[in-house]
Structure 1
Amino acid sequence: MSASGGSVRELTALLSALGDARHPNPAHAAQLHARLIVSAGARPDPHPDPVLLTQLVSLYAAAGRLADALRAFRAHLATANLRTYAVLVSALARPRPGLAFSLFSGACRGLLPSPHLVSAVLAACAGLPTICGRQVHACATKFVPPRDVFVYTGLVDVYAKAGDMAASRKVFDEMPSRGAASWNALLVGYARNKMCLKALSVFRELAGQGREVPLDQVSVSGVLSACSWAGNVDFGRQVHACAAKVGLELDVVCVSNGLLDMYTRCGCSREALVLFDAMDHRDVITWNIVICACIHESRFKEACMLFQSMVRDGVVPDDVSFATVLQASACMLSWALGASIHASVIKTGFLDSDGIASSLITMYSKCGSLDDALRAFQLAKDRLCVMSWTAMITALQQNGHGVQAVGMFEKMLENCIPPDHITFVSVLSSCSHSGLIEQGRRYFNSMTQVHNITPSTEHYACMVDMFGRAGLLSEAKQLIDQMNVKPDASVLGALLSACMNCRDLEIGEEVAKKLFVIEPGNSGNYVLLANIYASHGRLEEAKEVRRWMMFQELRKEKGRSLVNKKLATCLTYIQLNRFLHTQGFMNIPAMDSARYDPNHM
């Protein structure tokens, strides 16, 4: 930071050249910093050139040495200009948004903020409370002219990410001129906040702009996401036609993936298959979409075959791919397939993923191997994840270890893991099947009083079932009367089962009539009512209910078991077990309840 003009020009050119490099070397930044200090006469110049300081901070930031960039900035804070602040705020916006906003506030105390500085801090506001974005908006209103499209587009995006779409739309409407990025920020904001009809309306407005604001991959992908959530396949087909017209159908991967996701979510399997076959480039997201679609349609074997095809095509699976195919193997109750996928997960290094750990636990438990599920839980490196804990609690509950599931939940609370609504469904169901009435009451009350979770109909259904099994029909009826939402079929079905258990004909008839309207095709409700009549000796009414079932062509679904006749060869099993044994996994036929006691872990 020499006082000599020639030296300043030389160092400026050198810093500019290094800053323009695609991958700046961190050592070069430190060497240039030392050169700047030495050129000042073996001591730091108290008044360095602002241009050199800005370029040095930019070079440190580009090299990934944010601590050194901050150190150089603070050492010469007196000479920092708006450009220096903007460079540093931009570098800190995502990794440290709070510090970036603090630097912006400090710059505003002594300098008039420039549009470039305001744009830089807007990237940090996405990770901060909404009030920060409003403060930046107030500052921009004073110092940034409304014609600055870049700044006000950033404000539209900030409000959209904060969920305040009214403010986002207001900023958008007040802009005198709007670019493609402005329209995309508003459209994607509506889609992200599940305001699908608004997103479709914005796309109509954008498509009406013609050549002034052409459609691009962001706008098309955003509106396709809205079509998927809204289930509006007709509008999605129109978007497909628009994308094909402007050349964005198959050449752009994100657009083709958006179209594929829209068709699969809307149940248009044939159109999705035609589009999938026509795609020249298929990335891992493409394959994940079609595999998930097969699972949603209960085509589990086809999902596994698609996973194998993806691997054969040279596409490397990600954690979503493995979690999805593990779900398919769990639904097929195929331990051999799930264990082979587990081996692939270990080899590819995805075992640390939260979704993979919970999927492994679920797969092993559904296949009847609770020991392996417990080992998957214990060997998970990141055990401080609510997904893994919930999966293990659910596994214990579904395999008849309700008391151990409740103990696992208590251990989860001791480890300061906040439960979610799915965790409480499993815990309340465990209390119901294990007769833990008092604990069930306490957990249900703690949902709102401790964990700020509003009970859903699933939680109410578990509580009604728990009271019904304990013979507390009046308490179950009272709980339903106190519900803030209208009871659905799951809650009323649990109450009808409770009436059967308590042999209460009056309430049973009333509940059954409501269920016949809500789900007329559910034969189980008719069977329960007929059994209640029969338990009171009213056989004619029971026969009348069954005749009504036959008139509606309803039949009670027969119980069935799944037997897998096509097992892998003995050699494959031996090789697979050997590999999993090295990782601590093996099947143990003996089932011991003490083995799943959380206190012995």
Structure 2
Amino acid sequence: MSASSVRELTLSALRRRARHSNPAHAAQQLHARLIVVSSSTNPHPALLTRLVSLYAAAGRLADALAAFRAHLASADLRTYAVLVSALARPRPDLAFALFSGACRGGRLRLRPNPHLISAVLAACAAGLPTLCGLQVHACAAKVVPPRDVFVCTGLVNVYAKAGDMAASRMVFDEMPTRGGASWNALLVGYARNRMCLEALWVFKELAGQGREVVPLDQVSVSGALSACSSAGNVDFGRQVHACAAKVGLELGAVCVSNGLLDMYTRCGCSREALVLFDAMDCRDVVTWNVVISACIHESRFEEACMLFQSMVRDGVMPDDVSFATALQASACVLSRSLGASIHASVVKTGFLDRDGIASSLITMYSKCGSLDDALRAFEVAEDRMCIMSWTAIITALQQNGHGVQAVEIFEKMLENGIHPDHITFVSVLSSCSHSGLVEQGRKYFNSMTQVHKITPWTEHYACMVDMFGRAGLINEAKQFIDQMRVKPDASVLGALLSACMNCGDLEMGEEVAKKLFFIEPGNPGNYVVLANIYASHGRLEEAKEVRSWMLFQELRKERGRSLVNSENQTPTPSVLQQRRALWWLKDDG
């Protein structure tokens, strides 16, 4: 028997064995065979392709790349396509570099086939610059037949991921034939780029094709539901729900059920969301996250805490989103015991290094009055240089009356090279306002636009006006408002009205109050402040008239209240409703 025949028989035997064995073990056997064969001659390209494929299937991409480089002379187009496809998501830059190397030199300078083009398009869609997609598109126009559905679908997806929906739609329109993946790529692209009406139009066209032509699947229904959620179009969402029920996707696919649940909760249809949630047989962590987030959005914090506990009892492992939302809910009900137990679960499950978890822990301990625990949670997260953690601790210090320390933390953040965002500046400017640090407040506000290139929000202007008012600089506050680039809203004018009360400026207070009555006529606080200004100047008749006008409009200022447990402890949410009688309502007047 000739050497070539022996080689073919060996190759066939190894292929059969690889089909029925563990990918990693089979890859090691093939790799050993390659090393033996390569000592005398180049290994067979199919054998190298199989080796790379097995290593990729086993998740050992480094070994796949090493084997590829060791036997580069035997690599063919299929080998490149397998490796580029395996590297497309985890290492899109390396996948594109392999494609470029295959096209530039060696024997692969011939023509890339559609398989290789499709593989590298997946890498372009995974986050590469738009220029890479354009280069692949130019290459595909030369070597790929215009009727290739897979390549055209990849191009639709690439342009959609880059935000160029005009180019994505152009490629879609030029396709002679379209499969379900082509429609889904365009629909999901519109939904991802917040072009909700266009996404819903695509779904309507897709549904009108008929199930025998292009059947609806999980991707198309989920994309349409996402567009309905963003647009707040519950009527169309109900139609999508009906279509999903017709094709058996309503409760059969978890991602569709979660999309329906998210759509109903975000559109304010709590009753329909509850019916759907109760009917779901399979609930994953995303399902629970949706309903817990919906409860928090509707300020039903106690229910959110109880749902989190129910999720754990049902054996569903929480993820970082679950822990973050549960910590937010426990902070709002001031349940430090529940927050501490969630903290222990976070440490046990290994989610402590997530950015959102650290900031949620800081906020939870701060709102529950445990500032020392909040500082300890920040110290654990400080090494990761996350803006959310720094912002959370600055806000915690500011809300607990430690404005000077909050400013010191902000300076330390700048020294560590962390760039502040809008929310960070709101907290630090508020700290300067309550601590009387006028000059530092001016410096930070100017640095927003001059150093950090951040356009101020109305909240930043309101903090500055409040800072000037607390320092008695009423004229400077008025001048600051006159120089604003945007029209002052109720928050800015409300801060100026409070400044007028602190400084005793009756004339300006009347002028500002009239503007506020027009902007927000239903806010009783503005009437109360104006009445107090009149009373402080001895003009009791005017103060009485303002109060009478409040009664005529049926406006009443809510009294401040604080909840205190009879045992001086906050109960856990699981017993909040059962022990409601133990709570005292302490009227703060």
- TM-score normalised to structure 2 length: 0.89
Correspondent of 2:60 among 65, 74, 85: 65
Instruction: Give 1:313 deviation, angstroms.
Output: 2.0
Who is 1:16 aligned against?
Answer: 15
- Preserved CA contact (<8 Å) 1:172 1:182: yes
SS of residue in 2 equivalent to 1:176? coil
- Distance in 1 between the 2:326 and 2:62 partners? 43
- Distance in 2 between the 1:20 and 1:439 partners? 70
Deviates more, 1:489-498 or 1:384-393: 489-498
SS of residue in 2 equivalent to 1:128? coil
SS of residue in 2 equivalent to 1:321? helix
Which amino acid in 1 is paired with 2:561? Answer: R
Gap change, CA 1:539 and 1:239, over 3 Å in 2: same
Instruction: Give 1:451 deviation, angstroms.
Output: 2.9
Who is 1:598 aligned against?
Answer: none
Asked if 1:492 corresponds to 2:465, the answer is: no
Deviates more, 1:55-64 or 1:477-486: 477-486
Deviations 1:43-69 (A, max 9, x none): 253x44332332233233333333333
- Preserved CA contact (<8 Å) 1:393 1:426: yes
SS of residue in 2 equivalent to 1:563? strand
SS of residue in 1 equivalent to 2:159? helix
Which amino acid in 2 is paired with 1:115? Answer: P
Asked if 1:291 corresponds to 2:292, the answer is: yes
Gap change, CA 1:146 and 1:397, over 3 Å in 2: same
> How large is the Cα RMSD of the aligned pairs?
2.5
SS of residue in 2 equivalent to 1:454? coil
Pairing of 1:70-81 with structure 2 (within 5 A): 70-81=65-76
Deviations 1:430-482 (A, max 9, x none): 11111222222222233333333332222222222222222334443444444
Which structure is richer in relative contact order (CA contacts within 8 A, separation 6 or more)?
1
Asked if 1:165 corresponds to 2:165, the answer is: yes
- Distance in 2 between the 1:28 and 1:65 partners? 13
User: Percent identity between the aligned chains?
Assistant: 82
- Preserved CA contact (<8 Å) 1:18 1:24: no
Gap change, CA 1:270 and 1:66, over 3 Å in 2: closer
- TM-score normalised to structure 1 length: 0.88
Deviates more, 1:216-225 or 1:106-115: 106-115
Deviates more, 1:381-390 or 1:207-216: 381-390
Deviates more, 1:384-393 or 1:446-455: 446-455
Instruction: Give 1:368 deviation, angstroms.
Output: 0.8
Who is 1:413 aligned against?
Answer: 414
- Preserved CA contact (<8 Å) 2:114 2:144: yes
SS of residue in 1 equivalent to 2:384? coil
Who is 1:191 aligned against?
Answer: 191
- Distance in 1 between the 2:40 and 2:569 partners? 74
- Preserved CA contact (<8 Å) 1:352 1:382: no
Instruction: Give 1:121 deviation, angstroms.
Output: 0.9
- Preserved CA contact (<8 Å) 1:354 1:382: no
Instruction: Give 1:298 deviation, angstroms.
Output: 1.7
Who is 1:359 aligned against?
Answer: 360
Pairing of 1:93-492 with structure 2 (within 5 A): 93-109=88-104, 110-125=109-124, 126-211=126-211, 212-380=213-381, 383-492=384-493
Which amino acid in 2 is paired with 1:38? Answer: V
Instruction: Give 1:381 deviation, angstroms.
Output: 7.9
Who is 2:33 aligned against?
Answer: 35
- Preserved CA contact (<8 Å) 1:57 1:69: yes
- Preserved CA contact (<8 Å) 2:37 2:43: no
- Preserved CA contact (<8 Å) 1:188 1:219: yes
Which amino acid in 2 is paired with 1:63? Answer: A
Deviations 1:535-576 (A, max 9, x none): 455444433322221111111121211212367799x9xxxx
- Preserved CA contact (<8 Å) 2:527 2:546: yes
- Preserved CA contact (<8 Å) 1:389 1:412: yes
Deviations 1:90-145 (A, max 9, x none): 12212221121111112222231211111111121122112111221222222222
- Distance in 2 between the 1:66 and 1:461 partners? 54
Instruction: Give 1:323 deviation, angstroms.
Output: 1.8
Deviates more, 1:485-494 or 1:282-291: 485-494
Deviations 1:358-402 (A, max 9, x none): 212111111111111111222348632222221111111110111
Instruction: Give 1:485 deviation, angstroms.
Output: 4.0
- Distance in 2 between the 1:490 and 1:15 partners? 74
Gap change, CA 1:448 and 1:367, over 3 Å in 2: same
Deviates more, 1:215-224 or 1:164-173: 164-173
- Distance in 2 between the 1:504 and 1:129 partners? 57
- Distance in 1 between the 2:373 and 2:102 partners? 58
- Preserved CA contact (<8 Å) 2:336 2:570: no
